[in-house]
Structure 1
Amino acid sequence: MASKPSHFPLDISKLKFVLQVLKHYKFPDARWFEFGLNLGLLHPTLEAIESAHRGNPSRCLMECLTKWLTKADDNVTTVGPIIWKTLANALREMDVKSIGIDICKTMADPVSEILQCYIGRLAQVVLTEESVDLLHTEGLIFKDTLAEESYFLQQ
């Protein structure tokens, strides 16, 4: 059965958040070039990034993600839509499958995607322990999602 497309695509406004997620899961910045290829960016685009920011892999990763989030290359959409699942699949194609799996589990699930739409507002909300337990009891959040979302809300 085919999975439903995400109703919450990523865009350039989520760049900082995407970088935070990759950092949280310890994605090695030095792997940005291969990651960019897996995301569908063209070799000349990645070469231009490397030329402009040689010796600064974190900046190269940021520029690579910027190009992906803005669909700078027409080829990007042939890999998949600009969503967490596409990003996770690009990681799975590398030697960092566990990062891809973790991102897919915590960022691409429907509840997490909804929470991401409201992250600015949620950052201002303090949930009581009882509220969190109730959400978990009702099956609206899982322990993994709760741990990840609370980490990112603290940022």
Structure 2
Amino acid sequence: MATKTTGSSCFFYLSLFSSPLTIDQLIDVVDLLERCAFPQTRWYELGLKLGLHKNTLDVIKGDSDATYECLTECLSKWLRRADNVDSKGGATFDSLSDALKSMNENAAADKLDQEKRKAKAIDIFNTHHPLLSQSLSDPVSVAIMLQREGVITGQVLASVVSVSPSVPNQCEVLLAAIIVAIQSKYSLLQTFASVLCKFTGNVKLGTVIQRDYDQSFNDDKKLIKVVIPDDDMSTDTLSTGATTPSPIPPNTFSCSDSHS
């Protein structure tokens, strides 16, 4: 039987992006830079950008010729907030991202941002997992649509169907597969919410997940409610940054048109 694949490890992963970093997270930061394909040979310049003194970096360089060891010790000094680290924003994800961008390591910075978004999406899913486990209705039909949308594979769909008629077990298998999908592509959380809103019994679940997704990823798209001057006084959602209002503006979402 599939089990929930998230837990305390995901909390600590999220803390890389939402809290000041500490020396206890050294290996996590090293691994994060490795996943983002940061060239380790540029550790010295990274240290300077993060606020470490040249003398500090020279000592590190003199103690070891191994690039990996130099990078690790450089990050260790940064996490301990040595030299002028605090003047550069402290030991935080944002200061690390800014340092990469200032070095024109834009590809690594972009991957770092993707890691942050993935962590946020996982956190949103974890927040709603208990309610999803208890209240998700018609998991087989939901799984069929998710498979059509490319969120889950045909093999997962077959697994969900095979545990019928136990709805709790179907939910468990389906939700375990969805978290795996989100870990590979964070935007699939939004697809999941959209699919939920197509089923009357799951509209509320889809709405709250979409709301949290928008708050986390669409903060720059401020929305307002505008009254349309017609007979039924219906309302429409428009982007404050739009120059030409449209009936269905991009990057907005409503479950009001969902169907079962």
- TM-score, normalised on structure 1? 0.68
Cα distance in 1 between the residues matched to 2:181 and 2:118: 19
* Alignment check: 8 A CA contact 1:85 1:104 kept: no
- Give matches, 1:39-118, under 5 Å: 39-53=50-64, 55-73=65-83, 75-107=84-116, 111=120
Relative distance call for 1:56 and 1:78 in structure 2 (3 A) is: same
Counterpart amino acid of residue 176 in structure 2:
T
* Alignment check: 8 A CA contact 1:9 1:83 kept: yes
Counterpart amino acid of residue 177 in structure 2:
E
Root-mean-square deviation (CA, aligned residues, Å) is: 3.2
Structure 1 runs (4+) deviating above 3 angstroms are 112-115, 130-135, 139-142
Deviation, structure 1 residue 107 = 2.4
Which structure has more RCO (C-alpha within 8 Å, separation ≥ 6)?
Answer: 1
Map of 1:30 onto structure 2: 41
Cα distance in 2 between the residues matched to 1:62 and 1:71: 14
Relative distance call for 1:13 and 1:141 in structure 2 (3 A) is: farther
Deviation, structure 1 residue 26 = 1.2
Bigger Rg, structure 1 or 2: 2
Counterpart amino acid of residue 25 in structure 2:
K
Query: Structure 2 unaligned runs (5+)?
Result: 1-16, 125-172, 183-187, 194-208, 215-260
* Alignment check: 8 A CA contact 1:9 1:81 kept: yes
Cα distance in 1 between the residues matched to 2:72 and 2:121: 23
Q: How many residues align?
A: 126
Query: Structure 1 unaligned runs (5+)?
Result: 1-5, 116-125, 143-155
Summarize deviations over 1:111-145 as a string: whole Å, max 9, x none.
27969xxxxxxxxxx95125667992224569xxx
Relative distance call for 1:129 and 1:28 in structure 2 (3 A) is: same
Summarize deviations over 1:45-69 as a string: whole Å, max 9, x none.
000000001x201100000000000
Map of 1:128 onto structure 2: 176
Summarize deviations over 1:55-89 as a string: whole Å, max 9, x none.
2011000000000000121x111111211111011
Cα distance in 2 between the residues matched to 1:130 and 1:32: 37
* Alignment check: 8 A CA contact 2:81 2:90 kept: no
Deviation, structure 1 residue 27 = 0.9
